[in-house]
Amino acid sequence: MAPVLVLWLAVFLSGTWAVDKGNFKTCDQSSFCKRQRALKPGESPYRALLETMELTNTRLTLQLINDNNKVRLLLELYRLQGNMTRVKINELKPLKPRYEVPDVLIREPPTEPLSLLSQDENGVVLSLGAESQRVILSARPFRLDIMEGRDVVMSLNSRGLLAFEHLRMRKDTQADPEAEKKEEADPAAQPEAAKEEEKDEDGMWEETFKSHTDSKPNGPSAVSLDFSLPGVEHVYGIPEHADTLRLKTTENGDPYRLYNLDVFQYELYNPMALYGAVPVMLAHNAQRTTGVFWLNAAETWVDISSNTAGKTVFGKMLDYVQGSNETPQTDVRWISESGIIDVFIMLGPTPKDVFSQYASLTGTQAFPPLAAVGYHQCRWNYNDQEDVAAVDAGFDEHDIPYDYIWLDIEHTDGKRYFTWDPHKFATPKEMLQGLSDKKRKMVAIVDPHIKVDSNYKIHNEIRSRSFYIKNKDGGDYEGWCWPGSAGYPDFTRADMRDWWASMFAYNQYEGSMENLDTWNDMNEPSVFNGPEVTMHKDAMHGAWEHRDVHNIYGFYVQMATAEGLIQRSGGVERPFVLTRAFFAGSQRYGAVWTGDNAAEWEHLKISIPMCLSLGLVGISFCGALTLTPPVCLLADVGGFFKSPNTELLVRWYQTGAYQPFFRAHAHLDTPRREPWLFGPENTALIREAVRQRYTLLPYWYLQFYHAHRTGEPIMRPLWVEYPEDPATFALEDEFLIGRDLLVHPVTEEGARGVTAYLPGKDQVWFDVHTFQKHNGAQNLYIPVTMSSIPVFQRGGSIIPRKIRVRRSSSCMMQDPYTLYVALNLQRTAEGELYIDDGHTFNYEKEFIHRRLSFANNVLSSVNLAPEAQFSTGSWIERIVILGASKPSKVLLKTDDGQESQVEFDFDASMSVLTLRKPGMNAGADWNVMLQREEEEEEEENMTDQRERARESKSERVRGKR
Residues annotated catalytic, as ranges: 521, 596
135: region left, alpha or beta (phi > 0 left; psi from -120 to 50 alpha):
beta
Q: How far apart are CA 744 and CA 754, in angstroms?
A: 8
Q: How far apart are CA 677 and CA 664, in angstroms?
A: 14
Read off the DSSP letter of residue 726.
Answer: G
* Degrees to nearest 5, angle at CA 848 with 842 and 852: 155
Cβ contact 822:795 at 8 Å: yes
Written as one letter, the residue type at 268 is: L
Distance, C-alpha 867 to centroid of its chain: 31
Q: How far apart are CA 196 and CA 192, in angstroms?
A: 9
Q: How far apart are CA 715 and CA 418, in angstroms?
A: 34
Q: Is 856 exposed, middle or buried (0-12, 13-18, 19+ CB in 10 A)?
A: exposed
- Can you name the residues that pair with 152 across neighbouring β-strands? 147
Written as one letter, the residue type at 589 is: Y
Rounded to the nearest 10 degrees, how much is the dihedral formed by the CA atoms of 693, 694, 699, 703? 70
Give pairs for 533-537: CB < 8 Å, separation 24+.
Answer: 533/23, 533/261, 533/262, 533/263, 533/264, 534/260, 534/261, 534/262, 535/469, 535/477, 535/479, 535/488, 536/212, 536/214, 536/471, 536/472, 536/477, 537/214, 537/216
What HEC string does 795-817 produce? CCEEEEECCCCCCCCHHHCCCCE
Q: Across the beta sheet with 59-66, what order do the strands follow?
A: 46-55, 59-66, 72-80, 84-91, 341-346, 289-294, 280-284, 234-237
Q: Residue 351 to residues 74, 110, 371, 915: CA-CA distances in angstroms?
A: 32, 21, 30, 38
* Degrees to nearest 5, angle at CA 255 with 252 and 261: 135
User: What stretch of H or E contains 601?
Assistant: helix 601-616
Q: Roughly what angle, to the nearest 10 degrees, separates helices 457-464 and 494-502?
A: 150
The DSSP result for 864-923, as a single string, is: S-TT-------BEEEEEEETPPPPSEEEEEETTS-EEE-EEEEETTTTEEEEE----BTT
The DSSP result for 73-134, as a single string, is: EEEEEEEETTTEEEEEEEESS-SSPPP---SSSSSPPPB---EEEEEETTEEEEE-SSTTEE
Q: Across the beta sheet with 899-901, what order do the strands follow?
A: 899-901, 889-894, 926-931, 858-863, 848-855, 829-835, 797-801, 817-822, 876-882, 912-916, 903-907
Largest CA distance in the chain: 120
Helix (H, G, I), strand (E, B) or coil at 737: strand
- Can you name the residues that pair with 749 across neighbouring β-strands? none
Say if residue 525 is preceded by a cis peptide, omega within 30 of 0: yes
Cβ contact 175:169 at 8 Å: yes
Q: How far apart are CA 713 and CA 365, in angstroms?
A: 9
Helix (H, G, I), strand (E, B) or coil at 526: coil
Kindly report the number of other CB atoms within 10 A of residue 594's CB atom. 33
